[in-house]
Amino acid sequence: MIETPGYLVLSTGDVLEGKWLGTEIAVEGELVFNTAMTGYQEVMTDPSYAGQIVTMTYPLIGNYGVNDIDHESIKPALAGLIISSACRTPEHYQAKYTVKEMVEQYKVPTLYDIDTRALTRIVRENGEVYGKITTQPEDEPENRKVDPEIVKQVSVSSLIEISAKSMPAFSGQKTKHVVLYDYGYKHSITSTLTELGCNVTVVPYDTDPAVLHNLQPDGVVLSNGPGDPEDLAGLSKNIKQITESYPTLGICLGHQLVALAYGGKTERLPYGHRGSNHPVKDLLTGKVFITSQNHGYVVDENSISLAEWEVSHINVNDRSVEGLIHRHKPVLTVQFHPEAHPGPVDTYSIFREFLQMLPSKGEKQHA
Ligand SMILES: NC(=O)CC[C@H](N)C(=O)O
């Protein structure tokens, strides 16, 4: 087999040599790393990675193949993939393809045989690093910012209706209708809601609250998504209106956008939280959960009005804000991923907490 060398050229001046896995296409993006030991398929198809080159720190990728059931969106959204060893002979009863076949089919520029430990150190030490996957070691990444309009590229353009897959979560209740604002949603969010007995309507990220009102939701979920939350500050007025009218759950980007809508600020983490074993403390119960995470920004605790909001969760490693609860309105938001995938389902109960906030039939509080 002839293996062509490929290069990852970084904004720090470092150049790492590897080999192409699949099609040789040059691409640029923000360099991030994910520490999950499994879940590469979910990571590759999570739209929150749009515009980013993702390094998997676990050294062997592809050993259980790729299946037809664990995609988090219809196709990979990440700009590029960097791995150490690529397994070409997967073993798993559900495996349908190899990682090589997947990156070839969707034309995801991918390098393997990269020293991912050295690369991760560079990102940890430098924080915001941009890179280019290329055949030319003398190339340089030109862009130093993820496209401010990236959410528009991953959001649905018209609404999608998904029916409940089971009886309502709580006995005696009618099926609830949840509208999911799509900033780049993961399919696990809709599958969790439908498994808990909700009908879900997925709407474009910029859907006007008047259109939402016509859908007569019982509650609203604001999804995860890519990019810098402050690039979406123009949506703040709508988001504030939504949270004032309907019980709301914000997940990751959705959490950040609610904070911005209430006058809060977001800031960049030194090198992000991306993995499936991030400990989060529920400050209301004192319990610690292991969570799935994928974010580069956090809500600045000092920017939140504590008269209006309570910090419900913090990250045990760096004490950053992981969850907010409104003191008077049925609004809760989390920075981590209760839908998991990849990672543990310890915080699945967040969906139940949200569903418990939805009014029973005949007692909708909105006009
Ligand atoms: N998964 C997400 O929703 C990520 C939110 C945002 N793009 C961040 O990096 O912080």
Give 29-48 pLDDT, tens digit per residue. Answer: 999 999 999 999 999 999 99
**Structure ipTM over 0.85, yes or no:** yes
Binding-site residue set: 48, 225, 227, 253, 256, 294, 296-297
What are the pLDDT digits (tens) for 75-104? 999 999 999 999 999 999 999 999 999 999
pLDDT at 62: 98
* The predicted structure's pLDDT at residue 144: 83
- CA 78, 84, 88, 93 torsion: positive or negative? negative
SS3 89: coil
Three-point CA angle 277, 281, 287, nearest 5°: 105
Q: Give the per-residue pLDDT at 2.
A: 63
User: pLDDT at residue 3 above 80?
Assistant: no
Q: What is the mean pLDDT of the chain?
A: 95
Closest CA to ligand 1's atom 4: 295
Is residue 242 over pLDDT 50? Answer: yes
pLDDT in tens, 270-304: 999 999 999 999 999 999 999 999 999 999 999 99
- What is the reported pLDDT for 363? 53
State in Å: Cα 226 to ligand 1 middle.
5
- Pocket test of ligand 1: the residue of 52, 295, 298, 334 to mutate, having most ligand atoms within 8 Å of its CB, is 295
Domains, the chain, ranges and CATH? 5-134 (3.50.30.20), 150-357 (3.40.50.880)
Q: Which atom of ligand 1 is nearest to the CA of 337?
A: 1
pLDDT at 367: 40
What tens digit of pLDDT does each residue of 163-180 get?
999 887 776 678 999 999
State the average pLDDT over residues 252-277.
98
pLDDT at 361: 59
> 116 alpha carbon to ligand 1 midpoint, in Å?
22
Looking at residues 186-196, what average pLDDT do you find? 97
DSSP per position, 178-224: EEEEESS--HHHHHHHHHTTEEEEEEETT--HHHHHHT--SEEEE--
Which pLDDT score is estimated for 169? Answer: 73
pTM metric for this prediction: 0.96
> For the chain, how many residues are written?
367
Q: How far apart are CA 364 and CA 366, in angstroms?
A: 6
Residue nearest to atom 3 of ligand 1 (CA): 224
Ligand 1 centroid – CA 319 distance (Å): 18
Q: Ligand 1: which of 151, 297, 299, 339 to mutate, judged by most atoms within 8 Å of the beta carbon?
A: 297
Binding site, annotated residues for L-glutamine? 48, 225, 227, 253, 256, 294, 296-297
Output the pLDDT for position 184.
Answer: 98
Note the pLDDT tens digit of each residue in 315-329.
999 999 999 999 999
CA 209 to centroid of ligand 1, rounded, Å:
23
**For the CA of 228, the nearest atom of ligand 1:** 7
Terminal-to-terminal C-alpha distance of the chain: 66
- For residue 51, the CA-to-ligand 1 centroid distance in Å is 12
**Catalytic site residues?**
252, 337, 339
How far apart are the C-alpha atoms of 179 and 200, rounded to whole Å?
6
Q: Which residues line ligand 1 (CB under 6 A)?
A: 48, 224-227, 229, 252-253, 294-297
Quick one: average pLDDT of 151-162?
97
pLDDT of the residue at 131: 97
